[in-house]
Structure 1
Amino acid sequence: MLENDESIDKALSDYMTGRRSKIGMIDPYVSTLEKLEVLRNVPERDSEAQAKGRRAFLQQAKSITVPVSEVSKTRHKRWNIFQRKERSPMSTLASVLLALIVAFGGVGSTAYAAQASLPTDPLYPVKQLTEDVRLALTTDPENEVNLLLTLAEERVNEMMALADKGLQIPEETPLRLEHHLQLALSETAQLGDPAFMGALQRLRNMAQVRVQAMQQLQQKAPAEACQGLEYAIRAMNRAQNEAEDGLADPMNFRLRHGKNRPEDAPQQPENVPPKKKSTSPPPADEGSSGQGFGDGTGAGGGAYGNGYGDGTGDGGGAYGDGYGDGSCEGGGAYGNGNGDGTPCECPNRPPDGDP
């Protein structure tokens, strides 16, 4: 890590002096460095204002704490390995930002002055950098949610200020607002119940108030600003709906926005409607014993007749209109008695064609 930091410092030094030996290491930050060039020729500030700004900056720096997590002595099992990792304050981005402060000298007081800048102002990139540093150094989830909601309110304030001046709202500003809100929802899902409910209530209330204010401003704002306001209103409304859903159903909210769902958690069942039970009667030749109904033409019902059979053969009355078995017993083949529908060659059967 130390060797990497030294290489970044060397690349920054080369950039400042016009050399390009290792400038490739900071290519992702060149556009930001170019924007910061306006700070190189900043006139010397009044000594009293400089002292006041320094005191304010140091007071703000003291309020930023960097907790260090105790090293876990337990083995990570199953889904514990997916828990949110604490971000290292000495990441590459933080190293570059700290190097910038050293390189540009009095940037600390300038950063404090940039807090009141708008997206169209030259110092606005400094404001964004300081916000990113604060987020990088905030490792407590509850504090991070509060900071993200504060930044979301700041984005709304910026857009309303631009609209009130009749200026066009840059596309990046409402997109940054939406990003803050999405991160806030994701981090809220990690909080314990008391902090969870408090964060959602703050988000819901903030969204209600800010949406009303933007809608009122939208009525008198120029067309150039209405598009950005409309995008911000939609983002706020979505966040408000998510907050209200989370207050009503915390478990479902955590499943939608959470990061630490166990790997071996069961899949949610699909909402498949049950099959409709058929009410059609079974076919005549599929009836069980005693339930068949025939048409007098063969299996089921009466064979050559209109009676009820057993559904397994020549049921009903064989050669008759009643209940019969087609045999010599139980009512006779040509009678109305009860039988089992078993066909046989009866000795008393008359020749074909006789009545």
Structure 2
Amino acid sequence: MTYTATLKSAIGQLRGCLQRAGLDRQDERFARHGEHTPMRDAPLVLVACSGGRDSLALAAVAHIVCGMLGLRCGAIVIDHRMQEGSAGIASQAAASCVNLGLDPVVVRIVHVDLDHNGPEAAARDARYAAIADEARACGAQAVLLAHTRDDQAETIIMGLIRSGGVDVLGGMRERTAYDGTVLLRPFLGVSRKQTTAICRDLAISWWDDPTNGDHIAPGERLPRDYPLRSRIRHDLMPLLDDIAGGDIAGHLARYADAAAKDRDYLAVQTQIAYDSVVRLDEETQGSRGCSLDVKSLAVLPAAIRTRVIAMVCAHLGVAASVQHIEAIERLAVDWHGQGAVSLPSGYQAFRKRHVIRVCQDSGHANR
């Protein structure tokens, strides 16, 4: 078949992503034109497919690219059972993947435990857990996620609304891991318009999640009870495009590439500082804690110092806010005898001479 410029671009994006992940051509015979069947023991790549335009476009491109490289290509479809008719949607998504030539194609039903983080986060946690479990079960080398350039821009804006910071500006990484499973996002340079064009060119029918607001007319605002990402996509992004006079999603995605380099450098420096400043306790009776050397902590650059404190909290499983981290920092750089900083999960941070202790209340008596 003749590939359009859009399809060629998407093929290049995916192939580059796979190569950077160490998944390259398995044999020189796959460099020749024609149909090639991968070896039965060739590495397996799974596409996480929802039945939407982005993931179906990715499934189609993945089938083409894996064929070029001699990789096996399958799909996993997650049914969250959170919307009426979800079983039919999952079944149709799986059928579309089979028609594209993917094998194996698996549908997994998950139970979503709603918590204080909201249904969107709970569904994501359940989905990723099921994806990782299936990847292990079938021995997949990687799972492809269909996050696009538009998703990247929306993620950055959501992060700025909810927390802020340099790390947020780096957006989603091309490669991450979840419970030992490699997750790849090859379409972070591909727009939603391009995935739509790919589906149309290949005559692929897709399903639009009603919570995305695609059925709402342009210029009409989404109700407040719609997910934040959907309201950013439908209401805010068109407004920003109009104000900026251009493609704001593309601008943010390009900026994310540069910011990610800064984030990665800071992460390396933070780890070096963490290793020199922090001493972890041995876990006793389920209680964990650590000590921070005040003198070493205080002389660190502020950008590294706050990251070290945040890393301590993350290691202990403490969901610390920016205010918590700043209060702990003041124990080192603005010490005037203040009392302990109360933290979530029953933890406290307090200073004793030249040491800051972070531990659970029950562990203080023994320190």
Larger radius of gyration: 1
TM-score of Structure 1 vs Structure 2, range by shorter chain:
under 0.3
Q: TM-score, normalised by structure 2?
A: 0.22
**Structure with larger RCO (C-alpha < 8 A, sep 6+):** 2
Higher strand proportion: 2
